[in-house]
Structure 1
Amino acid sequence: MSLSPTEFRSGMRQLAAAVNVITTRHDGARAGMTATAVMSLTAEPPQIAVAVNRSNASYAAITGSGVFAVNVLANDHAAIASRFAGADGVKGEARFSAGQWDVLETGAPILRDCAASFDCTLVQEVAFTSHVVLVGLVRAVRVAPGTTPLLFMDGAWASLVRANDGDFAAYEQLIGELTGALDAVLASQGSFTRKLHDFSAAFIRVNAPVVDVLRDFYTRETFASASRLDAINQRKREVEHKLQDLLIRGVGTGEFEARDPVAAADAILGLLNGIHRRPAATGAQAEDLARRLADLVVAMVAKRHPVPA
């Protein structure tokens, strides 16, 4: 039996695709449209292909000018994607009021802060019923390495999450700083109460200015390899075990009251790790936050004396 258009579209909705704005300049006027049907053809020579509906006004402009650009949108370009898809009813030159635009070689508009732009001359057209595949010879490329692209899937904008080695390395460096801070606290003179307070304050001082590092890691950790996560988790457990030992010793001296020091250590780290939900803080603001949270941590396990009758 034949496949209905509805069945075909329901399957294609699950095909996640990069979102692009295809642009051109014809007779002094700019034109553009949003497209996901873009593909690489050959590297030698560099050629790219775009499927365009014949009824789209940009098709006539591209074939008339003989040039076009493929602008690969970044994840914060959803509004631009909607604009060039006609969602707000704006057409033609007016669409370019969204975004900042340059040109490279052909004169086709290039979106400044997109993930990549391919500036092309039209070299071939291949017709497929309602659509035409336009083949472009790439004359120039502009790339912004590391940019997260905008995706479209199941009727909604989406984005790509990568297991980024740079994010993991930055997070591992933070763990190293925390381990060093805890080692220095444990080696210092003073009560276990003072040591717990100093460690908690140091935790906040280290993390408060760079909460973006924490957020990036938490976003990407589920996409990391098992071996990379095992290495990171091993370093995190070192911090946990040292904090547990500090609490156990504090309970032993009578300074702390905790039936389960291991659970108490988890609760303390949970409280301190909540720093990633706050805005970044530096200077006096970070110091005040460090003091207040350190006071709260100590209050969680401090020995409570009976209130006189």
Structure 2
Amino acid sequence: MASNITQTHYNDMTPAKKVSKKALNKMIWRSLFLQASFNYERMQAGGWLYGMIPGLEEIHTNKDDLALSMSHNLDFINTHPFLVTFVMGIVLSLEQEKADIQTIRSVRIAAAGPLGGIGDAIFWLTLVPITAGITGNMAMNDRSILGAILFLIIFNGVQFAVRIWLMHWSYNLGTKAVSVLTDNAKEFTRAASILGIFVVGSLIAAYGTTSIRIILTDPVVDVQGLLNGILPKMIPLAITLMLFALIRKGWSPTKCILLLIVIGLFGTAFGILAGDSKAQNEDGSTIPGGYTPLVEWYDYPTE
């Protein structure tokens, strides 16, 4: 929803001085509150204006122009919260040059749009899987809270660095930054997505431990060993491909999670899926297979 603004130019058309680094840094910090007043009418407009105010106050010394600028900066906007400073820098450079108001509004929407896919590819499909894979392994193996702390430090350190760099780069580059973004958006998004998928696939191979518990006797046949001879990690791969197919058919992530819970409970109850719970019987001896299933439909060889 756009503001009801009919005026197309500011009253004072003299280009303003460059915004101070202090104001730019304030805008960077305020960008953290982009979604603080998120709503379905104008999405991130309230947080956007809050972030823009330090720069607008330095540019528009005329109070009527400042009010006008604040009004049209309350237009609908929806962009990636970690990359918003890119749009802020571009819009601020246009405000500094006292560009046509309609031009500023159009550029703001044009710059904000493509950032959703790019930001998801950078952060959710690349940075998070890589960082979580490394620090998660540290937390599981070392049983240390350092893994969680390190994850937060790396993730937030990267996104803060991106916010700072984008603000100063886009502000200095001005509207040329839009063409740089749009000309390379598809290629960049595709490259980041491929890297993220590669990392997720590596995590499946490294941490996918789902295996078959069944060992048949007379003659002894280790079903999991047989599968490993054909293709190691076959079960985790099959589960991943199954979930991929279900999501393509319209299943939600919640349904997929519930399905995995059902499969886990069923497989454990019937002794199909392997476990390493180190369960012991009354004599203190380790129970073969890691646990005793509720339904024992085959004989497990004794150690």
By the TM > 0.5 criterion, same fold? no
* Structure in which a larger fraction of residues adopt helix: 2
Shorter-chain TM-score: what band? 0.3 to 0.5
**Structure whose residues are more often strand by fraction:** 1
TM-score (norm 2): 0.33
TM-score normalised by L of structure 1: 0.32
